[in-house]
């Protein structure tokens, strides 16, 4: 069976750097940080008092006020990113075959805000018996965002959610890619969302010692590959990529950002939270994506790394790149856009894939900001081009995006310049 080709025809984003894809990309190239004091709840008793929050977003510009009340924040963000992506791709919804359009979105946690609020309210009034919002379960469950997107637009194609912690939305993109190239859909609205900046989210990651505690300097806290890194900075947001079968896109005269050519998935099979110290799973997933794309290591010009700014994870990923790419590792650019967006958890893969698409389209690499000091004790190879502190112009024929999640889940996608 000859597999169909898949292209990206629309982008949408709501991130700590901007409330659309264009503003997010501009801020990335300028090396801006989305971090600041947490405003969603009182952090007086928390070890970490900052995060990368979405700012100045009017939900009701996209979703009716009454309808928005029925949605957890993560679903609101997911829907807004999807609305933007669908608008950007320019499809005529009046004439489109909606039976051939699907939605595959990823989320790592889901409606944690709703869950905390409902259980907290029950605990306060337990003596009155169980009294819950009738929308509690539909707001909280992790699959609901893809459901709401399909309901809004009447898309009857494949519809579900992928959950693999911080690899969730990369797995969503890979799954959507496979559905289209196998001929099971003409277009899939794909991406991911997360909104876990809550007492439980921050407190839980604090208890694991996973978050940075650089409370006196939030904008400089996310510093992948630097000796002084002390954990990741939590973020929230959503990203959407409209994936479309090439001939379908050409028939309607769609603009094409880039072509999605390969995906990979692997497991560390090592630890519930820590990556394999030698980068075994990272090596395997990148190799799988290269094999799927029928590409060689030297064909890749840019890797958007998982790069969360944790002591172990940054080192293991860099080791995997050197092991797999060999001499080619020193000719490509590497960067972690998490240094700017923070870690968007289940939404990370979608937003970072968008960065790869735009890097390919515009021949420019977004930077890894906040680098000050080399970690000479951690076996980090600083001969690699980490694109520290400043965007770099270069030809980007193809870009690879890595995401790794708790449980040892690894996912990878590769985009390249579109050519007939």
238 backbone dihedrals φ, ψ, rounded to 5°:
-155, 150
Residue 383 DSSP class: T
14 beta partners = 238
- What is the Cα–Cα distance from 206 to 97, expressed in whole angstroms? 47
Of 343, 356, 371, 412, the active-site residue reads 343
Of 166, 240, 356, 412, the active-site residue reads 166
Contacts of 190 (CB under 8 A, 6+ apart): 103, 104, 105, 169, 172, 173, 175, 176, 240, 241, 242, 243, 350
Please indicate whether residue 306 is annotated as part of the active site. yes
Burial 150-172 (b: 16+ CB within 10 A, else e): bebbebebbbebbbbbbbbbbbb
CB-CB contact of 238 with 372 (8 Å): no
Please indicate whether residue 166 is annotated as part of the active site. yes
CB-CB contact of 107 with 191 (8 Å): no
Tell the residue number behind the tokens 């997933």, with chain if given: 285
DSSP assignment of 130-169 equals: ----TTHHHHH-TTHHHHHHHHHHT--S-EEEE-BTBTHH
Please indicate whether residue 248 is annotated as part of the active site. no
3 backbone dihedrals φ, ψ, rounded to 5°:
-75, 145
- What is the Cα–Cα distance from 335 to 407, expressed in whole angstroms? 24
Q: Which two tokens stand for residue 311?
A: 């002591």
Tell me which residue of 202, 398, 396, 232 sits closest to 314, measured CA to CA.
Answer: 232
3-state secondary structure of 178: helix
Using CA atoms of 370, 361, 285, 33 in order, give the dihedral in degrees to the nearest 10. Answer: 20
Of 148, 306, 371, 409, the active-site residue reads 306
3-state secondary structure of 295: coil
- What is the Cα–Cα distance from 21 to 351, expressed in whole angstroms? 9
Burial (CB count <10 Å: 0-12, 13-18, 19+), residue 116: middle
Q: Mind telling me the catalytic residues?
A: 166, 306, 343
């Amino acid at each position: 069976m000859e597999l169909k080709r898949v292209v990206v025809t629309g982008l949408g984003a709501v991130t700590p750097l901007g409330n659309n894809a264009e503003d997010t990309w501009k801020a990335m190239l300028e090396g801006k940080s989305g971090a600041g004091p947490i405003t969603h709840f009182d952090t007086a008793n928390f070890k970490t008092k900052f995060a990368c929050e979405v700012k100045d977003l009017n939900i009701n510009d996209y979703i009716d006020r009454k309808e928005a009340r029925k949605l957890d924040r993560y679903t609101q963000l997911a829907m807004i990113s999807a609305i933007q992506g669908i608008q950007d791709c320019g499809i005529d919804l009046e004439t489109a075959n909606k039976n051939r359009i699907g939605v595959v979105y990823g989320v790592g946690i889901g409606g944690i805000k709703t869950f905390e609020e409902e259980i907290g309210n029950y605990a306060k009034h337990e003596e009155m018996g169980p009294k819950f919002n009738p929308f509690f379960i539909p707001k909280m469950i992790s699959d609901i965002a893809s459901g709401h997107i399909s309901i809004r637009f009447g898309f009857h194609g494949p519809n579900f959610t992928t959950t693999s912690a911080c690899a969730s939305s990369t797995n969503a993109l890979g799954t959507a890619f496979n559905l289209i190239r196998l001929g099971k859909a003409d277009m899939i609205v794909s991406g991911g969302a997360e909104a876990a900046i809550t007492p439980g989210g921050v407190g839980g990651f604090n208890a694991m010692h996973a978050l940075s505690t650089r409370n006196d300097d939030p904008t400089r806290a996310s510093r992948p590959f630097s000796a002084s890194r002390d954990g990741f900075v939590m973020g929230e947001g959503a990203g959407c990529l409209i994936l479309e079968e090439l001939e379908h896109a050409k028939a309607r005269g769609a603009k094409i950002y880039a072509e999605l050519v390969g995906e990979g998935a692997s497991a560390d099979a090592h630890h519930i939270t820590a990556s394999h110290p030698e980068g075994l799973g990272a090596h395997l997933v990148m190799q799988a994506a290269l094999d799927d794309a029928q590409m060689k290591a030297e064909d890749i010009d840019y890797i958007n790394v998982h790069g969360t700014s944790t002591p172990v994870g940054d080192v293991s990923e860099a080791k995997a790149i050197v092991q797999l790419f060999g001499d080619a590792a020193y000719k490509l650019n590497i960067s972690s856009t998490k240094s700017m967006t923070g870690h968007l958890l289940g939404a990370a893969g979608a937003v970072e894939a968008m960065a790869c698409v735009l890097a390919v389209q515009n021949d420019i690499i977004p930077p890894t900001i906040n680098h000050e000091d080399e970690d000479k004790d951690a076996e980090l190879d600083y001969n690699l081009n980490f694109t520290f502190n400043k965007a770099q112009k270069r030809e980007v024929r193809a870009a690879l995006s890595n995401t790794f999640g708790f449980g040892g889940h690894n996912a990878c996608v590769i985009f390249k310049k579109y050519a007939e």
